């Protein structure tokens, strides 16, 4: 039997270098996109995958098209960093129980159906590993001192331009946050959409965060303007990717 360190080494992915793996500047670009949740759920259910698998395929397709048009698509698949919850059902402790995992976006595969299958296989493997080794993963860190060491580490990282010297572990961050299925109101006005605004860091200059709200998947894309000056093209690409995937799945 292989030891835990051996299995851990196999699970750690090294991402290819992309324009998103660079030192970020002070300016940001932001874009939004909404996709119909019922359509995404229907595609996921009818083809035996999860909603998150569909989301990863859409982002992978969008980034593949974006980098290919710029002649910067690497041969290796792009790697996404995803926050995952480790909290078990019924756990009401007031602490942080989350970790970060890597997953291939299968951008080396041109066919959207085959790309979705590859992503689904990868996410199932992640779930199996989390179920097996969850008890070994730290789930809470002291919150009081965190801002102090995080700020210091961030400054050292920036001054040394470390993100440009080390091989990247991910190319982009994707965070899928479940939202309320019921309408929300403020001063009697109904909230139509819920677009999240996240952050970027040195070495990870692009972030996709999405909320499910009522019957919508609301994406908020944020990037360092130096790396992605025209973020609208990526936001618009998500809708195009959904149409392409639906057509391909209908013919598969």
The model's pLDDT over 56-69, given as tens digits with 9 standing for 90+, comes to 999 999 999 999 99
Longest dimension (CA), the chain: 61
Domains and CATH numbers, the chain: 4-85+98-251 (3.30.559.30)
Closest CA relative to residue 101, chosen from 140, 74, 149, 134? 134
Closest CA relative to residue 204, chosen from 56, 31, 79, 33? 79
* DSSP one-letter code for 109: -
pLDDT of residue 84: 77
Average pLDDT across the chain, whole number: 85
Q: Is the pLDDT at 225 greater than 80, yes or no?
A: yes
In angstroms, rounded to a whole number, what is the distance separating the alpha carbons of residues 171 and 16?
8
* Residue 246, number of CB atoms within 10 A of its CB: 16
Strands 79-85 and 172-177 come out as parallel
Size of the chain in residues:
252
> Which residues, including other chains, have CB under 8 Å from residue 183's CB and lie 6 or more apart?
190, 191, 214
pLDDT in tens, 5-45: 555 555 678 899 999 999 999 999 999 999 999 999 999 99
In angstroms, rounded to a whole number, what is the distance separating the alpha carbons of residues 92 and 213?
24
In angstroms, rounded to a whole number, what is the distance separating the alpha carbons of residues 212 and 206?
20
Displacement of CA 202 from its chain's centroid (Å): 16
Confidence of residue 251 (pLDDT cuts 50, 70, 90): low
Helix (H) or strand (E) holding 40: helix 37-46
pLDDT of residue 246: 96
pLDDT of residue 96: 55
CB-based contact 115:60 (threshold 8 Å): yes
Q: Which residue has the tokens 């809470």?
A: 140
CB-based contact 209:196 (threshold 8 Å): yes
Structural tokens at position 250: 């209908």
């Amino acid at each position: 039997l292989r030891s835990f360190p051996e299995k851990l080494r196999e699970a750690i992915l090294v991402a290819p270098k992309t324009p998103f793996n660079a030192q970020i500047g002070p300016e940001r670009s932001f874009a939004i996109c909404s996709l119909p949740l019922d359509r995404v759920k229907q595609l996921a259910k009818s083809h035996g995958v999860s909603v998150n698998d569909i989301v990863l395929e859409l982002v992978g397709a969008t980034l593949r098209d974006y980098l290919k048009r710029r002649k910067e698509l690497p041969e290796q698949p792009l790697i996404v960093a995803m926050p995952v919850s480790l909290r078990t059902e019924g756990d009401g402790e007031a602490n942080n129980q989350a970790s970060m995992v890597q997953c291939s976006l299968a951008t080396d595969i041109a066919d959207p159906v085959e790309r979705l299958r590859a992503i689904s296989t990868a996410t199932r493997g992640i779930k199996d590993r989390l179920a097996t080794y969850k008890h070994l993963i730290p789930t809470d860190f002291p919150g009081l001192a965190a801002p102090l060491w995080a700020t210091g580490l961030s400054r050292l990282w920036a001054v040394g331009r470390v993100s440009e010297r080390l091989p990247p572990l991910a190319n982009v961050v994707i965070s899928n946050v479940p939202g309320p299925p019921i309408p929300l109101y403020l001063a009697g006005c109904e909230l139509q959409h819920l677009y999240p605004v996240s952050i970027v860091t040195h070495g990870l200059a692009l972030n996709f965060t999405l909320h499910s709200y009522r019957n919508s998947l609301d994406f908020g894309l944020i990037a360092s303007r130096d790396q992605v000056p025209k973020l609208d093209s990526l936001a618009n690409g998500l809708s195009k990717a959904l149409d392409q995937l639906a057509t391909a799945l209908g013919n598969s």
